[in-house]
Amino acid sequence: MRDYYSIKMRATLEGKHVSGVERIVTKEKIPEVVSQLPLRPNQFDFMNIKIEKLNQINFIEKSLNVKTIKVESVEMANNVALEILQTVGIHRELAEIYIKMLHTGAATDKGNMRGAMIVSLKGERLEKDKDRGVRTVNVDFENREEVTKLLKEKGYTERTVDALALSTKNLYYPDILAEYCISDQPDYTTGYVATKTTYYRILNLKDYGNPKGGRIYFVKEDTDIDRLYQYLETKAFLIKTLGDLE
């Protein structure tokens, strides 16, 4: 078994987060990946790069399938998202409450949470800290360059690559039933809903100019929260191939 290393980069400008990257690579690839990181943000005054050898690596054969849904209004887009969530057993009224929170700032100070919100089928918030939320880390595509090229050819973005990897790890966990996501970038209005099989990429999921965003993980009622945190924040995964693209 080969050794794998996690490379994590975080850049800020005047104390504000401007860029973050996470990669999992073999030792030979470290110099190449690290040398590209300072070119990622347009501007920064602080950059932290952490390289860590992983104790264990797990593999997922295929990413979720990707399906794009184009609708014209934010209202219609969220209606589609709610319908998808309903197909996996999530009550519409309950999902609506938390989705609205993401669009208006889900942290206690009405800013963005740093990680994802966890909501049970009963509608309970299960994160240990409601401002921090939970962060899914330690996931990448084994063949990242190829996957990125393929997705870009189809009109997807680098954000899709990262989000698809992250949601594939999330949905691989039996207790996570679905995920809803909108970006916290004001000009990035494409979001997604992920279910066990599919990453539904939904255009116009949030209003242009809205700086609010984040993720909701919908989980089974009896989810063991410590185990879920451990999975999301520590287990490392490489995804071998892309699922079907539409």
Among 95, 191, 210, 236, binds ligand PML (CB under 6 A): 191
Please state, in angstroms and rounded to a whole number, the distance separating the CA atoms of residues 136 and 231. 8
Q: Is 212 in the site for ligand PML (CB under 6 A)?
A: no
Q: Is 206 in the site for ligand PML (CB under 6 A)?
A: no
Question: CB–CB of 198/81 below 8 Å?
Answer: no
Question: Looking at 26-34, 88-96, 110-118, 182-190, which segment touches ligand PML (CB under 6 A)?
Answer: 182-190
Question: Looking at 22-30, 36-44, 112-120, 152-160, which segment touches ligand PML (CB under 6 A)?
Answer: 152-160
Question: Looking at 1-9, 70-78, 102-110, 185-193, which segment touches ligand PML (CB under 6 A)?
Answer: 185-193
Pairing label, strands 117-120, 139-141: unpaired
Question: Looking at 2-10, 80-88, 99-107, 178-186, which segment touches ligand PML (CB under 6 A)?
Answer: 178-186
Among 141, 192, 217, 231, binds ligand PML (CB under 6 A): 192
Closest CA to 196 of 243, 147, 245, 132: 243
**Block residue for tokens 């996957």:** 147
Q: Is 163 in the site for ligand PML (CB under 6 A)?
A: yes
**Block residue for tokens 């519409």:** 92
Q: Is 19 in the site for ligand PML (CB under 6 A)?
A: no
Question: CB–CB of 54/6 below 8 Å?
Answer: yes
Q: Is 139 in the site for ligand PML (CB under 6 A)?
A: no
Q: Is 160 in the site for ligand PML (CB under 6 A)?
A: yes
Q: Is 198 in the site for ligand PML (CB under 6 A)?
A: no
CB 31, min distance to ligand PML, A: 27
Question: CB–CB of 23/204 below 8 Å?
Answer: no
Q: Is 159 in the site for ligand PML (CB under 6 A)?
A: yes
Burial class (CB in 10 A: 0-12, 13-18, 19+), 89: exposed
Residues 6 or more apart in contact with residue 49 via CB below 8 angstroms = 7, 8, 9, 34, 37
- Name the token pair of 44: 């920064």
Q: Is 201 in the site for ligand PML (CB under 6 A)?
A: yes
Question: Looking at 4-12, 43-51, 80-88, 157-165, which segment touches ligand PML (CB under 6 A)?
Answer: 157-165
Please state, in angstroms and rounded to a whole number, the distance separating the CA atoms of residues 126 and 218. 10
Rule CB under 6 A: which residues touch ligand PML?
157, 159-160, 163, 181, 183, 185, 190-192, 201
